[in-house]
């Protein structure tokens, strides 16, 4: 074995460089922070500070309105659900709801509910329990003989859609 063949154990990590331990260490005196001033001290975070000039985020005009109470929905198209049914990840004998979609991996995170969109086709007779659905999605589901129940309301059928107009 030669000196140039020495190596650390696989997966080991080098020790952290200790700073401020004398000029001979290579990171002494200023500890790699440069010299003097506010940024050389600890506990300083100057985000958006531009040396006394009015920062850019304060110079630009503010526009619009952000609703902090806005609800975020998981939007899912019917063709995506059909793909998961075909692959056997969704059981069509049980109603399709948030829990079953999370379990199947269709959605990663549960938001404020599920909203069905009408892209693609659905070949299976399925029951849905979702927060919302587009008119086209409802139409496609009912043409397959399936049912859709919007959470917070009763089962949807074409009569209730026409009444809401």
CATH number for the domain spanning 154: value is 3.100.10.10
**Residue 61 domain-assigned (yes or no):** no
Instruction: Convert the pLDDT of each residue in 91-134 to its tens digit.
Output: 989 999 999 999 999 999 999 999 999 999 999 899 999 999 99
Considering only 15-24, 77-86, 118-127, 156-165, which range has the smallest mean pLDDT? 156-165
Radius of gyration for the chain, computed over Cα atoms and rounded to the nearest angstrom:
30
Containing structural domain, residue 149:
74-163
What six digits make up the tokens of 75?
């939007």
Statement: residue 159 has pLDDT above 70? no
Q: What is the pLDDT of residue 48?
A: 83
Q: What is the pLDDT of residue 161?
A: 55
Instruction: Convert the pLDDT of each residue in 22-78 to its tens digit.
Output: 999 889 989 988 888 888 888 887 788 888 899 999 999 999 999 999 999 999 999
**Residue 3 domain-assigned (yes or no):** no
Residue 112 has a CB neighbour count (10 Å cut-off) of 12
**Residue 44 domain-assigned (yes or no):** no
Q: Estimate to the nearest angstrom the gap between the alpha carbon of 18 and the chain centroid.
A: 38
Statement: residue 165 has pLDDT above 70? no
Count of the separate structural domains present in the chain: 1
Hey, which residues does 148 pair with through a beta bridge? 128
**Residue 43 domain-assigned (yes or no):** no
Q: What is the pLDDT of residue 51?
A: 82
d(C-alpha 56, C-alpha 116), whole Å: 41
């Amino acid at each position: 074995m030669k000196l140039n063949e020495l190596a650390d154990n696989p997966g080991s990590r080098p020790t952290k460089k200790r700073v401020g331990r004398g000029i001979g260490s290579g990171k002494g005196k200023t500890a790699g922070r440069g010299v003097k001033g506010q940024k050389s001290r600890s506990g300083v975070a100057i985000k958006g500070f531009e040396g006394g000039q009015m920062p850019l985020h304060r110079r630009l005009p503010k526009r619009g309105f952000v609703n902090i109470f806005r609800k975020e929905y998981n939007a899912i198209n019917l063709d995506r659900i059909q793909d998961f049914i075909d692959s056997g990840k969704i059981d069509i004998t049980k109603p399709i709801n948030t829990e079953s979609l999370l379990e199947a991996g269709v959605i990663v995170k549960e938001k404020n509910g599920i909203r069905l969109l009408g892209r693609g086709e659905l070949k299976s007779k399925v029951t849905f329990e979702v927060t919302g659905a587009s008119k086209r999605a409802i139409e496609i589901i009912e043409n397959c003989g399936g049912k859709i129940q919007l959470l917070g309301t009763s089962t949807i059928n074409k009569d209730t859609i026409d009444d809401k107009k």
